[in-house]
Structure 1
Amino acid sequence: MSVIYVLLAISIFVAVIFFIAFIVSVKSGQYDDSYTPSVRMLFEDELVTTKKSSTKEFKEKKTN
């Protein structure tokens, strides 16, 4: 039974070490994406068409 306590303590210790290493690597910019911004202009943008209501239509809706 004491082996379970030892293994549990060791596993929690290892998990804390990995968590600290992850936090340090995120704060140091390890996971920053430096590639995508340089090639973003090469990707095709999807055209988004929205119907804009004119100010005349807006005023008519407002007075009704």
Structure 2
Amino acid sequence: MDVLIFLIPVALLLGLIGLAGFLWSLKSGQYEDLEGAKYRILQDDDLPDEPDDPAR
């Protein structure tokens, strides 16, 4: 039971750190553009550009 004296403050501290991180992410705008992510995943940025063909 003596370990509860150590574990309860540690659990509260970790909870407060998690809450602070969540509030920071809200204030920094992490959740502003929820629609854009589903469109950005469809873009093929890693494909090489096709060379210009002057014969066309």
TM-score band by shorter chain is 0.5 to 0.7
**Which consecutive unaligned segments of at least 5 residues does structure 2 have?**
40-56
TM-score by length of 2: 0.56
User: Match for residue 12 of structure 2?
Assistant: 12
**Which consecutive aligned stretches of 4+ in structure 1 deviate over 6 angstroms post-superposition?**
none
Report which of the two has the higher share of helix: 1
Which structure has the larger Rg? 1
TM-score by length of 1: 0.50
Superposed displacement of residue 33, structure 1? 2.3
Structure 1 vs Structure 2: percent identity of aligned residues? 32
Matched, 1:35 2:31: no
Q: Over the residues paired in the alignment, what is the CA RMSD in angstroms?
A: 1.8
Superposed displacement of residue 34, structure 1? 5.0
